[in-house]
DNA sequence: AAAAGTAGGTTCCGAATAGTAACTAAAGGA
DNA sequence: TCCTTTAGTTACTATTCGGAACCTACTTTT
């Protein structure tokens, strides 16, 4: 994906960044990745509890999508009741710097906003 | 936002990362930030053209939201027709490393996937 | 004079999607 | 027998998104 000065820059369909941004665009996606990164492998119910407002339906769908994109791994144990644990794949784990960077910014901006208020 | 071992970790409402993830969660948000970062200040129409599939309505709404969050700046010139230019604020520009990191990952993964296919 | 063009939206409507609540399967326990 | 557990699944409602038409205020073209 080159700068706008390049006449061919409108042919973005195969642009890697375009694909990744589209992948992360869905609701709760980055949130899921952050939870798995910061809190480690988690069960379905734990993830759901960590994201107030998300429905089982959407969590399921997001997790399937991320699994399909090879960013997370789903470990299903056929117990009763079933025990399904989700974790980051090696590829998913490569998002570490990005996620930690976001966290740092979040904390810095929060601190700045607190100072502005006082 | 502490690890899951902390009993108080469920009180996330004021967690900076929670707020930032919620902010970026809306459709096309990161995409807009990426376009402004990679291609510099842009007019409404340029942004829209750079994101096939987004509606004027949603682009407007996202831009207003990002402006409200002080991540982008809106420069309105009352010409006829009007010329409105959007750019990253200093705070928005701090997302540089995160966005560049995503881009690097995107390209690396794309290259890996190409190798897997061959 | 009327029509068309420009840019950044705004409005309307149907399609798509997210959220809520109820339900399911299978085994174990009270 | 009923209840509990977990990870979903289903049905329905509410919300949101995309496409298309429209609006504003001028300027240019037909």
pLDDT in tens, A64-85: 999 999 999 999 999 989 999 9
- Model confidence at A5, in pLDDT bands (50, 70, 90)? very low
Over the stretch B68-95, which tens digit does the pLDDT of each residue have? 999 999 999 999 899 999 999 999 999 9
- Model confidence at B106, in pLDDT bands (50, 70, 90)? very high
Q: Which residues pair with A73 in a beta bridge?
A: A87
Over the stretch B19-60, which tens digit does the pLDDT of each residue have? 999 999 999 999 999 999 999 999 999 999 999 999 999 999
Q: Distance from CA of residue B16 to its chain's centroid?
A: 17
Which nucleotide's C1' is closest to B46 (Cα)? C7
Over the stretch B35-46, which tens digit does the pLDDT of each residue have? 999 999 999 999
**CB atoms inside a 10 Å sphere around CB A58:** 15
Handedness of CA B45, B49, B50, B54 (dihedral sign): positive
Q: Judging by beta carbons within 10 Å of its beta carbon (0-12, 13-18, 19+), is residue B78 exposed, middle or buried?
A: exposed
List b or e across B84-110, with b for residues whose CB sees 16 or more CB atoms inside 10 angstroms.
bbbebeebbebbeebbebbbebbeebb
Confidence check on the interface: ipTM exceeds 0.85, yes or no: yes
Which nucleotide's C1' is closest to B25 (Cα)? C18
How many Å from the N-terminal Cα to the C-terminal Cα in chain A?
43
- Model confidence at A13, in pLDDT bands (50, 70, 90)? very low
Question: Residue A63 CA to nucleotide C25 C1', Å?
Answer: 21
Q: CA A105, CA B96: separation in Å to the nearest integer?
A: 11
Residue B32: closest CA among chain A residues belongs to which residue?
Answer: A21
Residue B53: closest CA among chain A residues belongs to which residue?
Answer: A22
């Amino acid at each position: 994906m080159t700068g706008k000065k390049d006449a061919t820059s409108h042919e973005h369909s195969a642009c890697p960044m375009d694909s990744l941004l589209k992948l992360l665009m869905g609701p709760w996606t980055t949130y899921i990745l952050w939870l798995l990164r910061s809190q480690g492998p988690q069960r379905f119910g734990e993830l759901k509890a960590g994201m107030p407002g998300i429905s089982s339906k959407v969590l399921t769908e997001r997790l399937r999508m991320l699994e399909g994109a090879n960013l997370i791994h789903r470990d299903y144990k056929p117990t009763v009741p079933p025990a399904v644990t989700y974790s980051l794949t090696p590829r998913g784990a490569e998002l570490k710097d990005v996620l930690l960077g976001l966290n740092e910014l979040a904390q810095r901006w929060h601190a700045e906003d607190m100072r502005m208020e006082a």
